[in-house]
Amino acid sequence: MRVRTSDGLELEVAVTGAADAPVLLCVHGYPDDKTLWEGTAQRLADRFRVVRFDVRGAGGSDTPASRSGYLLDQLARDIAAVADAVSSAAPVHLLAHDWGSIQAWHAVTEPEFAGRFASFTSISGPCLDHVGHWMRETWRHKGIRGIRAGANQLLHSWYIGFFQLPVIPELAWRSGVAGRAIGWLERRNGEVPNPRTADAVHGLELYRANMRTRLRRPAERRTRVPVQVLAPDKDSYVTAPMQAAAARWAPDFTKRRVHGGHWLPRSEPGVVAEAVAEFTGARTAA
């Protein structure tokens, strides 16, 4: 199916599982598409109606005409639009990875949309506003340990500055250099992504539209949605301390340290499926 967004684009959506089951809405990150979730969807289709969609600029979805089309406020509206299309009467469970998690955090911390979500499982993608607060507090108030944690995250986030450059990141993707670099970093974890060049190039606007504003002037974004964070122990880009910092903003917060790398949904879909089933099951039972 296709879902129209508030600014007139269309998103490609895939649905599996029983029509009367609770909805699990999966949001992929950069530079992926909805195929990231195939292994997880297969394992959860017997207990959820699993909904996967290509975010704007990726896969079979439309691409915005300008950078402003990638702002987080619009991305949160996209998630809400898909949730409304597939489950207008009941809240959905969210599962998101990387930039999908960044978008999902924005949605669950937006009062207008928070009631649409029954739970949120986040993998390797923090709220950018939370990151902005964490970085300030880490550097200013937490001594040597905090400085080390902040410096470690900066080392893991080296690519963010690179993606802000004009032209060069696009050339890196089109020449194959960027793909080979990611492959070299992730091959040891057995999870080499193979994105379409167009998707990788379009998605650079996610970084350019949002990073500077959110990190420089972070808002206080809170949620009462139950949140589970899966923090892979071999993540090359997002450190566990930064993800754990979200506990301040979400009273119902659970963090699980799991074995794996950044692309955990590709390499360990069973781990992801089990964690989602346990987390959502516990909330349903309660």
Residue with tokens 């905090």: 146
Write the burial class of residue 229 (CB in 10 Å: 0-12 exposed, 13-18 middle, 19+ buried): buried
What is the tens place of the pLDDT at every residue in 121-166? 999 999 999 998 988 887 666 666 656 666 666 666 777 888 999 9
For CA atoms 273, 275, 277, 280, give the dihedral sign: negative
Question: Of 3-7, 73-77, 246-250, 280-284, which gets the smallest average pLDDT?
Answer: 280-284
Torsion of CA 68, 131, 141, 250, to 10 degrees: 120
- How confident is the model at residue 286, as a pLDDT? 45
The pTM for the full model equals 0.93
Mean pLDDT of 46-62: 97
- How confident is the model at residue 171, as a pLDDT? 95
Angle subtended at Cα 64 by Cα 154 and Cα 171, rounded to the nearest 5 degrees: 55
Mean pLDDT of 161-179: 91
What is the tens place of the pLDDT at every residue in 95-119? 999 999 999 999 999 999 989 999 9
- How confident is the model at residue 159, as a pLDDT? 76
Q: Kindly indicate the confidence band of residue 86, based on its pLDDT and cuts at 50, 70 and 90.
A: very high
Mean pLDDT of 14-20: 93
Question: Of 65-74, 135-144, 198-207, which gets the smallest average pLDDT?
Answer: 135-144
% residues pLDDT > 70 (the chain) = 89
